[in-house]
Structure 1
Amino acid sequence: MAKGNKPNHRRFGNIRQLPSGRYQASYLGPDGRRHNAPETYERKGDAERALSLIEAEIVKGDWIDPERGKIKLKDYAEMWIKERPGLRPRTVDLYTWTLNKHITPYLGTVQLGRLSTAMVRRWRADLLGKGVSPTMLAKAYRLLRAVLMTAAEDDGIIPRNPCRIRGADAEHAEERPVLTVPQVFELADRLGRRPFGNVRKVKDGAYRLRFQRHGEMRTHPEIFLTRAEAERALWEMARDGRADSDQDRRFRAMVLLATFASLRWGEVSALRRMDVDLVVKAVRVRVAFVERSTGGLLLGPPKSKAGRRTVGIPESIIPVLKEHMDTYVQDEPAALMFPAAKGGPMRRSGFNTRTRWVDVVKDMGLPGLHFHDLRHTGNMLAAMSGAGLKDLMARMGHDNVRAAMIYQHAVRGADQAITNAIDQQLKQHDEGDDDGSASVLTPVG
């Protein structure tokens, strides 16, 4: 008989009426301490039903200390990210940003024990109403679900995960462009091209353009209202051959190798001279650069275990790589294959600026093209070889491959077949057999 109840009145728990007229239920938990029900009730019968449910939880072993559920979501999620094993630095940055941007402002102060599916549904609807993209919202929902799954199943703080909205985690990948072989070579040839000329401000805030043509400096007859207009005109003249230009060709080999060997940005930017063997026509991926949101650059293992791999290089781009290594790469085995202008690692922002990536791909009719789309293009070319799934995944460095390819004196087996198939397409380009048709859109695999 619970303390405070009349004889033969209640077998479990205690109910008392508060000065407000509402009823409060309390009970002795398995921990030997008295606990209050999570809320008060307007009617005594509601309090009795609440005690019956709590008793059933205790009997089944499903009871959870309500005090533990008082931790706020923000505090628990931050601890979850900090203590999560095996997260890459960039993933930590992404999770932290997503939490602070899309979860904490709405649910951060809510106690875990009070979170409900209805609250999660309202949170999701609010974000959609404020213009958050379905893709970003799916990422935020998956993060919230993972955090609360740990709270429910591992830590036993809540009885079940309130993230139970069907389809909320679905992320429909944006279709990405796949370049044709001629487009890849055109992109490689355009990057790093710079015109000879300058823009000067004149009276009334206007700008005058000077450019070099056949080695002679000339003045453009037009006066431009903004510097941007004058610079755009200079680049257009260089592209059309009306102004002299030169090219920093260090980026040409980088684009071709990243495409036809299916390399990620972090992998290709971390390559050393010793990783590229022009005799056996293979590149070895051992490490990758990761750029933190704070600006720091870390050198670590590739994105996945399968990322450590050896990939065949098509013979058609061997001369380009040899020219690049002779011109831009120091002789030391550990020298970076694609260093920045001052010799250090090349950052993505610096690459985009020096190559005018955004403007170049726009001029090519491919606005929004990402560097990662080069890898996607290489993956599609490899898939066209007819190789099996495991062999393709090994070349691409995907997680579901148990072992990476072993670097040997010659590239053998299925990867050689893939390399030969890609090389055949490159040779068709060299011979002019490719019609240069526009790029097509395919889902990212």
Structure 2
Amino acid sequence: MPAKRRHFGRVRKLPSGRYQVRYPGPDGVLRPASTTFERKREADLWLSAKEAEIARGDWLDPEAGKVGLREYGESWIRERPKLRPKTVVLYEGLLRLHIAPALGKLTLTEVTTPRLRKWRRDLLDAGVGPVTVAKAYRLLRSILNTAVSDRLITKNPCEIPGAGLEKSPERPTATIEQVFTIAGAVPERYRVLVLLACFNSLRWGELAALARKHVDTVEGTVVVERSVVELPTAELVFGPPKSDASVRVVTLPMIFLPDVVRHLADFTGKGPEALLFVGPKGGPLRRSNFQDHWRKAIAEAGIPGLHFHDLRHTGNTWAAETGATLRDLMDRMGHSTTRAALIYLHKTAGRDRKIADALSKLVEDSRGTTAKDTAGVDDQGATDPAAGGTDGHADREGHAGGTTPDQ
């Protein structure tokens, strides 16, 4: 049956009894709908909706989204020249190892929310860590957000609640004695490396990039202005730190300033550009050359599961326990947002007891009384029932219910 003429598009009845729709795109090319319709009215409604979509400027070429996800993802990474080398390595690994094997052969238009839900579940079931899965999901979401901006797909199918959130397992912290045991167990040239990682909250890449010029032994400070990344090719690439906030000046605890001075004299070259930490043959610091020393040292300290980065975690925890403010922690850690610093403040909720004890001391000094003298008696001389007295009136504010932990 010939197609019936309309003011927009065409509808014709097929021998099967279903209705086929064709419509002109903004480029004048006549295109078929992606499906046929059981009733003519359904076909007419679809055409009307398509006409309105074109009039609004929301129309997308259905052929545009037929590029492969892997191909598009690789281009997405290449087209971001401002990514730091470490980030490029991370993204390429996530795409190659966790996204492309299951989804890489799909076109952009074939990537749907149900498929992504199954892909995520399969990764977790295969034993891929939740943190890695969350990173892969966030990368995929960013890639597909760009595909939406490029008008290749109409919407981003990454709509799984909470899939991009990382819930890292709690990492261990070392004691002061354990840190100094590790510092004493590694070769002497790495002693200060361990101390700075912990007490100055420095990352491995920041430590490996330090030069003599970055250490001020008069003021007792370390300037962090660059970092180094080791690529899979073993090439070392120097560049800016993790973020703008990571460019910072960190003050050394004076107790081990003599260690730093001795290290500069014994293991660092004379010029200002000489790397602070080098290997036995004078080459740049590499994880691969340090790992054996690290494993032996943490075994001697009795914490074989400790990662090098846990030294920074340990130091941050101690800094919070000293009473550092949120801003202090952010500056020392090199973070631009409050999220990580708040974690350490929450970990040190025990400081609230120290504050309460200090307030008690103020009262004792002011009134010449002790906690024992005032126990069970309020300001009016009435006995507090919570302290074992006989007054039957409950404290409406202080005993209305239990407390909840800080979330």
> Which bracket does the TM-score occupy, shorter chain normalised?
0.7 to 0.9
* 1:40 to partner: Cα distance: 4.2
Q: In the alignment, which of 385, 392, 405 is matched to residue 329 of structure 2?
A: 392
Q: CA deviation at 1:43?
A: 5.9
How far 1:44 sits from its partner (Å)?
5.2
Aligned residue in 1 for 2:70? 74
Q: Output one character per residue of 1:266-319: Cα deviation in whole Å (capped at 9) or x when no partner.
A: 111111112111111111112211111222111111111122211111111011
- Displaced runs of 4 or more, over 6 A: none
Measured in 2, the distance between the counterparts of 1:54 and 1:287 equals 53
What residue number does 2:156 align with? 161
Matched, 1:370 2:307: yes
Gaps of 5+ in 1: 192-247, 402-445
**Bigger relative CO (Cα 8 Å, ≥ 6 apart):** 1
The residue number in structure 1 matching 2:175 is 180
Worse-matched range after superposition: 43-52 or 100-109 = 43-52
Deviation of 1:24 (Å): 3.4
Paired position in structure 2 for 1:256? 195
Distance 1:125 1:274 in 2: 50
Alignment CA distance shift 1:82-1:63 (3 Å): same
Q: Is residue 68–residue 107 contact of structure 2 (8 Å, CA) maintained in 1?
A: yes
Task: Check the 8 A contact 2:4/2:12 in 1, yes or no.
Answer: no
For residues 49 and 115 of structure 1, do their structure 2 counterparts lie closer, same or farther at Cα, with a shift above 3 Å needed? farther
Q: Quick one: distance in 2 between partners of 1:372 and 1:366? A: 14
Aligned equivalent of 1:406: none
Q: Give the distance between the partners of 1:49 and 1:368, measured in 2 at CA.
A: 64
Distance in 2 separating the partners of 1:46 and 1:351: 69
Amino acid at match of 2:126: K
1:109 aligns with 2:48: no
Report matched runs for 1:271-282 at 5 Å. 271-282=210-221
Find 1:145's aligned residue among 141, 145, 166: 141
Q: 2: distance between equivalents of 1:322 and 1:346?
A: 19
Please tell me the residue identity of whatever aligns with 2:90: L
Distance 1:363-1:387 versus aligned 2 partners, 3 A rule:
closer
Q: Is the 8 A contact 2:3 2:12 kept in 1?
A: no
Q: Any idea what SS the aligned residue of 1:271 has?
A: coil
1:32 correspondence with 2:28: yes
CA distance in 2, matches of 1:116, 1:47: 25
In structure 2, the partner of 1:84 is 80
Alignment deviations for residues 248-277 of structure 1 (CA, whole Å, 9 cap, x no partner) = 311111111221111111111111112111
Q: TM-score, normalised by structure 1?
A: 0.71
TM-score by length of 2: 0.77
Q: Percent identity?
A: 51
Structure 1 counterpart of 2:278, from 326, 336, 339: 339
Q: Distance in 1 between matches of 2:273 and 2:279?
A: 15
2-side partners of 1:271 and 1:184: how far apart?
Answer: 21
Q: Secondary structure at the match of 1:177?
A: coil
What is the Cα deviation at residue 23 of structure 1?
4.5
Opposite residue 166 of structure 1, the aligned amino acid is: P
Whole-angstrom distance in 1 between the partners of 2:19 and 2:57 = 26
Q: Which has the larger strand fraction? A: 1
Kept after mapping to 2: 8 A contact 1:286/1:301: yes
Question: Aligned partners of 1:307, 1:160: CA distance in 2, in Å?
Answer: 35
Equivalence map 1:27-426=2 (5 Å)? 27-41=23-37, 47-152=43-148, 154-191=149-186, 248-353=187-292, 355=293, 357-400=294-337
Counterparts of 1:23 and 1:132 in 2: how far apart (Å)?
Answer: 47
Number of equivalenced pairs: 337
Structure 1 residue 188, shift from structure 2 partner: 0.6
Q: Is the 8 A contact 1:358 1:367 kept in 2?
A: yes
Q: Look up the equivalent residue of 2:320 and give its one-letter code.
A: A
Could you list the per-position Cα deviations for residues 100-131 of structure 1 after superposition, in whole angstroms to 9, with x for gaps in the alignment? 11111212122212322122222222223323
Q: Which letter does structure 2 place at the counterpart of 1:336?
A: L
The answer as to whether partners of 2:217 and 2:261 remain within 8 angstroms in 1 is yes
Distance 2:238 2:222 in 1: 18
Partners of 2:4 and 2:10 within 8 A in 1: no
For structure 2, the residue ranges without an aligned partner over 5 or more in a row are 339-407
Q: Distance in 1 between matches of 2:122 and 2:15?
A: 38
Contact 1:69 1:157 in 2 (8 A): yes
Give the structure 2 partner of residue 6 of structure 1. Answer: 4
Report the secondary structure of 1:176's partner residue.
coil
SS of the residue 2:137 aligns to: helix
Report the residue type matching 1:318 in the other structure. L
Further displaced range: 43-52 or 118-127: 43-52
Secondary structure (helix, strand or coil) at the match of 1:27 reads strand
- The structural deviation recorded for 1:387 is 2.6
CA distance in 1, matches of 2:93, 2:199: 33
SS in 1 for 2:21: strand
Superposition deviation, residue 163 in structure 1? 0.7
1:13 offset after TM fit, Å? 1.9
RMSD: 2.1
- The residue type paired with residue 390 of structure 1 is R
Q: For 1:141 and 1:290, how far apart are their aligned partners in 2? A: 24
SS in 2 for 1:110: coil
Q: Give distance in 2, aligned partners of 1:39 and 1:362.
A: 65
